Amino acid sequence: MKLFNDLSLQFNLRKEQNASYKLQIIYCRISCSNKRKNLSTGLYVAESDWCKHTEKVKSKEQNSVEINNQLALIKQQITNCYFEAKTKKQTLTIDEIQTVVFNKKSNVLVPETDNNTSDSSILAVRYLNDLIDKRNAHIITGSTYRSYKSAITKFLAFAKMYYGTENTSLASIDKQFFFHFENHLTVKMRLGNNYVHKVLSNTRKLFNYAYDLGILESKCSFKFKAKYTNPHRAILNYTELKSLINLQIENKTIDEARDCFLFQSYTGLAYAEIKGLKKQNIKSIEGENWIVINRQKTGSESKLILLPIAEQILNKYANHLYCDAKNQLLPVKSNAKYNNALKRVQEMANLNTRLSSHIGRHIFATTVALQFGLPIETLAKVLGHTNLRTTMIYGKILDNKIKSDFAALRSNLI
């Protein structure tokens, strides 16, 4: 199976020479960077039980399920190696995969247990451990992991209350359970509609995880009434943005926060990206200074040309002591400290719009980019979006843009 353009793997059987037993060993054939190698998984299966198309054991016996679980974990470990190498901007080799995955059996084998492999609590722990691996490999962020963990915790707590036991099999949970679970979150816990949607969505991923491991025979298909609605985010108009530029601030910390916010407003970068911005992210292309990064959230590439104001801010902090010590281009502190400083900026500028570490991204999309004619397809590339529908969320159409567009339409109709 092809995992990425430069990495693929295939599980197949091979009978050892002079072997007298009927079982065959499962090998993992890895193709990476134009090289290929067969590595033993240390797992054995009868040829009659092996499916070449799915590359899994067909039998539903306890031992067969565990073998499929181990194969799935091997695949996950290899994927983690790939993303970790990409994060470090290194070239992944088969030898490295062999060292990390196949020479450390404890990382691959599923712990033996007497409990049912579809037990919700056991699978939840295994699922969260896999998410921890992804978080450590910077595939997902810490906040994303906490969101998954919170949802799974709520699911397990309700399942214990609903069934009266902690040992609930995922296969035994029906659609009626989810109807009561959604009602519990909405009515009993009084959670917001978007939060309920997120909890149910993340819970469903646990069931799909069990399906991928071969524990459940079908994917989870339950539907829920809670629909995600995009929250209204107030933004600054261009006049307010200019007033923020001209605002005189004596406090050094507040001034730095204002500059970082302006940098976000003229680049569209999120908090994690301006905090992680380094010299190697600034590229000189055809006489222009570009920012080229891989978005932490999606892993997609984001490219943009530095606008004059953003470039001035970078030059201002070129020799800043904090930036030099932290290997950053901007004096960005923790998210909490940054947002607290932005509250002071808002008060000093007499703005009604609440400033935060994420609003700057929306201001760039709407007030700066779309209002002054940047095509939405280009904006999607700049923001690092893989789906144009996501860009539409950021791209609010302001009244003055509607006015100018209708003025152009009127002149064309005359």
Q: Which residues of the chain have pLDDT under 50?
A: 17-21, 105-116
pLDDT of residue 20: 42
Cβ neighbours of 69 (radius 10 Å): 19
Question: Which domains are seen in the chain, by residue range?
Answer: 1-109 (no CATH), 113-229 (1.10.150.130), 238-413 (1.10.443.10)
pLDDT of residue 348: 94
Residue type, 34: N
What is the rounded CA–CA span in Å between residue 230 and residue 237? 20
Three-class secondary structure assignment of 306-336:
CCHHHHHHHHHCCCCHHHHHHCCCCCCCCHH
What is the rounded CA–CA span in Å between residue 33 and residue 397? 46
Provide the pairing of β-strand 23-32 with 50-51: unpaired
pLDDT of residue 133: 83
What is the rounded CA–CA span in Å between residue 81 and residue 106? 16
pLDDT of residue 19: 45
Residues facing 294 on adjacent strands: 301
Residue type, 146: R
pLDDT of residue 115: 41
What is the rounded CA–CA span in Å between residue 271 and residue 128? 26
pLDDT of residue 390: 65
The residues near 142 (Cβ < 8 Å, ≥ 6 apart) are 135
pLDDT of residue 52: 86
What is the rounded CA–CA span in Å between residue 53 and residue 411? 62
pLDDT of residue 112: 38
What is the rounded CA–CA span in Å between residue 232 and residue 7? 42
For residue range 347-384, list pLDDT tens digits in order: 999 999 889 888 888 888 888 887 787 877 778 778 77
pLDDT of residue 34: 79
What is the rounded CA–CA span in Å between residue 69 and residue 111? 11
What is the rounded CA–CA span in Å between residue 66 and residue 63? 5
